[in-house]
Chains A and B, each alone.
Chain A
Amino acid sequence: MKDALLKIKSLAKDELSKVNDTKALEELRVKFLGKKGELTSILKQMGKLSAEERPVIGQLANQVRAEIEESITNRVKEIKALMLEKKLKEEELDVTLPGNKSTIGKLHPLNIVLNEIEEIFMGMGFDVVDGPEVEYDYYNFEALNLPPDHPARDTQDTFYITDNILLRTQTSSVQVHVMEEKKPPLRIISPGRVYRSDAVDATHSPLFHQIEGLVVDKGITMSDLVGTLELLMKRLYGDDCKIRLRPHHFPFTEPSAEVDVMCFNCGGKGCSMCKDEGYIELLGAGMVHPKVLANCGIDPEIYSGFAFGLGLERIVMRRYGINDMRLLFENDLRFLNQF
């Protein structure tokens, strides 16, 4: 009987090593250890043994059962590991294949940059205000020191709706609304659409965007204007950005300036992009004309202020190297998706 037990043990070990899947393994377990299994059938003959033999064989039988069970457990582990390995191998992917598309849309480039500029100004305490695009002549021109038949009106070809209603040619019209409605201190910017009857080409559009800025308070100086614009340009173009002011004329500011920013391409040395100037014209600015303050019911003897107007398209085009303004209003997805 002892031989029979040892034979089962070696047979079980032998068969186990040949088994390669969990199902066959289970069958083996039943075959050797189950109720009708080989080990059980041997143990059933224990009764025939002498009293001396019984504990010895019994011990041996338990030992054999334990060994077979352990072997099965080990084999299970081995097979699982083998199967996992096989599965992982089979599941190998070409990681260089493209991902499945999920889409986040994009803001229009004009608004990407506008959001940035709004944030810069809000950080400096400027509120963002809106104004009407279809506007009275008074707000667009007259209150801004541009009476009818003023020659400077020629520089802004205007779309008219009636004799005294027009499409605003500049966001400066909002200055007047703001000063009429609120009292100083004022710190605002007003972005929006403006209209001029320029035929469409690579650098002109009958509709474009401006950002107006206005600060009115006691003791506002031209050096505050310089500082504010310098800060804006540094935030927009980096800390080493430099600006330059040139005297100019706008009827609604005095003194007036055109503001150039150091060419980002050549860093001021002069290149084809800045037409060898080293600087690029970016905006108009100045101290609010006392007549404009007075027109809006603000005493120019007590208050002073500055104002500026930025062309958004120009900034966006410079930022992204866009060479044709028409692209901004065509809205071709192949263009929009680049930003």
Chain B
Amino acid sequence: MDLSMKWLSDFVDVSDKSIKDFCYDMTMSGSKVEGYTPEGKDITNVVVGKILSVVPHENSDHLVVCQVDVGAEQLQIVTGAQNVNAGDYVPVALNNSTVLHDGKPVKIKNGKLRGVESNGMLCSLDELGLTTHDFPYAIEDGIFILGDDCDKTLGKDLKEAIGFNDTTVEFEITSNRPDCLSVLGLAREAAATYGIKRTLKEPSYKGIDGNIDDELSVEIKNPKLCSRYIAGIVKNVKIEPSPRWMRERLRASGVRPINNFVDITNYVMLEYGQPMHAFDLRYVSGSSIIVRNAKQGEKIVTLDGEERTLSEEMLVIADKDKPVAVAGVMGGEYSGIMDDTTTVVFESACFDGASVRKTAKKLGMRSDASSRFEKGLSPKNCYPAIMRAFELVEELGAGEVYNTIIDRDCSDISENPVDFDPEWINNFLGTDIPESDMIEYLQRLDFEIRDGKCYAPFVRIDIECKADIAEEVARIYGYNNIPSTILRGVAEARKTPEQRFIKNVQSSMVSLGLNEIETYSFISPKYFDKISLDKNSGLRDAVTITNPLGEDTSVMRTTIIPSMCETLARNYNYRNMKAMLFELGNEYIKTENGKLPNEPVRLCIGGYDSNGGMDFYSLKGIVEELLNNLSISDYEVESADSKCNFDEYTAFHPGRAAVLKKNDVQFGIFGELHPEVQENYDIGTRTYIAKLNIPEMMALADYDKTYKPLPKYPATTRDLSLVCDDKTPVASLEKVIKSAVGKTLEKVTLFDVYKGEQIEKGKKSVSYTISMRSHDGTLTDEQADAAIKRVLKALKEIGAELRA
């Protein structure tokens, strides 16, 4: 809402406040000011002058030399304009003045034009930042010749002389306060803010005798969507520009002046907050106005020239044959005021906010009217608004107003007062405001207090309960006068086991040298192809956004892996030689139709090293250390293939991917990215990814830790070099060793794997250090040798033998 300060001054006098203070004070009492703009702030040192003479320029046939009287002195000014004559009053930019050129401020200085002295400049409307809408009698491409509506005192500051000296204050009005989308509403707020009086006047008009029922009928078919409709008639209208003061105020409010009738409807809307409409009676077929729902598929061409197709939940203003306006949104093409209009019908009505909002949204056209109606207006405001319109018609001499109106009022007129409970308010706010002060604050805001009840002014549709009254009191009292107290009582806060687990994962990752990332939860469905997901994978059935910003962010990710790949690709592209990243994020997995998806937390690890410093085993090392730190032990690692539970296995190198498993629960997959996937992401080096399921891991973690006494006796170690089939996974060797040694086993450490010349083809050599220890005494060589014997025997059964 752009407020003209001149307009405001009709109702309250805030001239003793600086504009900056005014903006601050209004903001702090609840009407937020976004900023303010003095009109013509780039126009300086321009005054009213009178042309004394005009003679041709001696060296030019398109320039003329004028002698201009600017009060204090007489100036010679050269101009190229053809429309100046002796006796004209004109804007004169003096030496060292600023005016606009192509919308930008420029300095004007004394100089010579083709050898003739020119001490200033005569200005056009454009050079002042104005248009012919502001001064309809002026011409576009010539000097602005001041009309009789301007102050012609020579030497007077031009902005003052033509009324171009208003200040516009821009308010951000919240959706609960449509009453403040009006000068009167803001005047009420300003008066309450400062505790000052307002000058209010009931609008009134004389009118002419005439029975409106002879000319027009009004019928409301849907009183739910239109609670009140007032119509009035103006005869013998004279369509012309409105007077300067009205044009000025509309301009300062950001509304372009058109003609007197259009301007009056806009003026009333801005002053009262009540949208108005003016019809040409000629185009109301059958002279009947019917407020009804549109017929499905019914069409209307709106004022902006667009054809709109309506649907039956929309409300229209119709005549006998057709809709003439979309109620509360926009008028139809022929309903408006033309130059030859003779009889005007004024509409001042109240439409249902939700309905207007839905209609405007569906038709894709918001208007000043719809943005007011949709917030919910009071039907009581219709009457004073139309009265004000009539008053202005008479004031402007724009026509003759019938002294009868049609008022179809289906509105609920019951009052809904709210309890006035000062003690409750103080308890609620934590304040100690005397009751008398509260009453004064509320009265400043036009509330009435009687019999322990608060009656809000009818425009305040937002007042419903005690808390609303508390807010009114608080904002006038001043939010920043509310004391600051510390919450009483003791409350114990603690992290849930899941939160602790996740924090542990986070800190483990950081300790292992990984950087955390945060990626978008929505991805492109194309990403499923990018990670080579099977065409039939259930992961392709993602939660889909019906109105996404673009395809790239149109589905909720069912797998966190593509987000990591994108991030790695971006880092590779930025020439970061090495990256080790992790993300703790959600996946979104569909459940039943109409139900919310599951949002399980995943840990995703990703990395590459362009210098070859990373391989499968460095990733595995990170995963192992993480699991160790999370107290997840005795898990198994298996090759990842089509039998595994992770559909993403296809994104991995088929020979370099593994699944983590414990108690038959597969809780993670990791490995090297498939070369094709790596290529899809344009990453020029081997890339490694792991995905671990947090809830499953949490269930598998063993939190019970018991101290084991430190060993008293030394360990005995034996090194074994074995030869076995190349395909035999070392995990199976270890399993055998562990069970064969039995309870004296302390640790099995693999220290070498060898394939090559020394070994038969298709075989490999695997070397272990086996460490054994007893808590009862030092193990003897015999005991150790016996254990190794058992190991070798067991290993033989799976085809592994001592290397010769």
Interface residues of B in 301-353 (CB under 8 A from A): 353
B452 is an interface residue with CB less than 8 A from chain A = no
* Bound Cα distance from A224 to B428, whole angstroms: 10
A241 is an interface residue with CB less than 8 A from chain B = no
| A247 and B471 form a contact (CB under 8 A) | yes
| A332 and B471 form a contact (CB under 8 A) | no
**Residues of B close to A111: CB separation below 8 A:** 506, 516, 518
**Residues of B close to A219: CB separation below 8 A:** 427, 488
| A249 and B491 form a contact (CB under 8 A) | no
* Bound Cα distance from A333 to B582, whole angstroms: 12
B194 is an interface residue with CB less than 8 A from chain A = no
Picked from B475, B492, B494, B599, the residue with its CB within 8 Å of the CB of A255 is: B475
**Residues of B close to A206: CB separation below 8 A:** 520, 522, 549, 553
- What are the interface flags for B487-508 relative to A under an 8 Å C-beta threshold, 1 for contact and 0 otherwise? 1111111111001000000100
**Residues of A close to B489: CB separation below 8 A:** 185, 217
| A246 and B465 form a contact (CB under 8 A) | no
Number of residues on chain B facing chain A (CB within 8 A):
85
Closest to A258 in B: B32
A289 is an interface residue with CB less than 8 A from chain B = yes
Q: Which of B88-96, B434-442, B571-579, B666-674 forms contacts with chain A?
A: B571-579
Q: Nearest Cβ distance between residue B585 and chain A, in whole angstroms?
A: 9
A142 is an interface residue with CB less than 8 A from chain B = no
Closest to B499 in A: A128
* Bound Cα distance from A163 to B227, whole angstroms: 29
| B487 and A108 form a contact (CB under 8 A) | no
A272 is an interface residue with CB less than 8 A from chain B = no
A45 is an interface residue with CB less than 8 A from chain B = no
Q: Nearest Cβ distance between residue B311 and chain A, in whole angstroms?
A: 15
* Bound Cα distance from A133 to B545, whole angstroms: 13
Q: A103-B513, A246-B27 are in contact. Are A221 and B547 (CB under 8 A)?
A: no
- What are the interface flags for B576-609 relative to A under an 8 Å C-beta threshold, 1 for contact and 0 otherwise? 1001111000101000001011010000000000
**Residues of B close to A55: CB separation below 8 A:** none
* Bound Cα distance from A165 to B499, whole angstroms: 27
**Residues of A close to B553: CB separation below 8 A:** 206
| A151 and B576 form a contact (CB under 8 A) | no
| B513 and A125 form a contact (CB under 8 A) | no
**Residues of B close to A74: CB separation below 8 A:** none
* Bound Cα distance from A152 to B479, whole angstroms: 23
| B517 and A336 form a contact (CB under 8 A) | yes
| A160 and B479 form a contact (CB under 8 A) | no
**Residues of B close to A290: CB separation below 8 A:** 465-467
Closest to A127 in B: B493
| A245 and B480 form a contact (CB under 8 A) | yes
| A126 and B491 form a contact (CB under 8 A) | yes
Q: Nearest Cβ distance between residue B18 and chain A, in whole angstroms?
A: 14
Picked from A162, A207, A223, the residue with its CB within 8 Å of the CB of B520 is: A207
A38 is an interface residue with CB less than 8 A from chain B = no
Q: Nearest Cβ distance between residue A203 and chain B, in whole angstroms?
A: 16
Q: Nearest Cβ distance between residue B767 and chain A, in whole angstroms?
A: 29
Q: Nearest Cβ distance between residue A339 and chain B, in whole angstroms?
A: 10
Q: A104-B510, A224-B485 are in contact. Are A161 and B543 (CB under 8 A)?
A: yes
| A329 and B518 form a contact (CB under 8 A) | yes
Q: Nearest Cβ distance between residue A314 and chain B, in whole angstroms?
A: 15
| A105 and B511 form a contact (CB under 8 A) | yes
**Residues of A close to B597: CB separation below 8 A:** 134
| B516 and A254 form a contact (CB under 8 A) | no
| A126 and B493 form a contact (CB under 8 A) | yes
Picked from B27, B581, B582, B596, the residue with its CB within 8 Å of the CB of A165 is: B596
**Residues of A close to B495: CB separation below 8 A:** 122, 128
Q: Which of B101-109, B170-178, B391-399, B741-749 forms contacts with chain A?
A: B170-178
Q: Nearest Cβ distance between residue B520 and chain A, in whole angstroms?
A: 5
| A255 and B474 form a contact (CB under 8 A) | yes
A154 is an interface residue with CB less than 8 A from chain B = yes
- What are the interface flags for B1-40 relative to A under an 8 Å C-beta threshold, 1 for contact and 0 otherwise? 0000000000000000000000000011110100000000
Q: A155-B175, A257-B479, A331-B581 are in contact. Are A289 and B428 (CB under 8 A)?
A: no
Interface residues of B in 113-135 (CB under 8 A from A): none
| B175 and A154 form a contact (CB under 8 A) | yes
Residue from B515, B519, B596 with most neighbouring chain A CB atoms (10 Å): B515
**Residues of B close to A5: CB separation below 8 A:** none
6 contacts between A and B (CB under 8 A): A105-B511, A161-B545, A193-B521, A257-B479, A331-B518, A334-B576
Shortest beta-carbon contacts, A-B, top 10: A223-B430, A125-B491, A221-B430, A255-B471, A247-B30, A249-B174, A103-B513, A149-B354, A331-B517, A245-B479
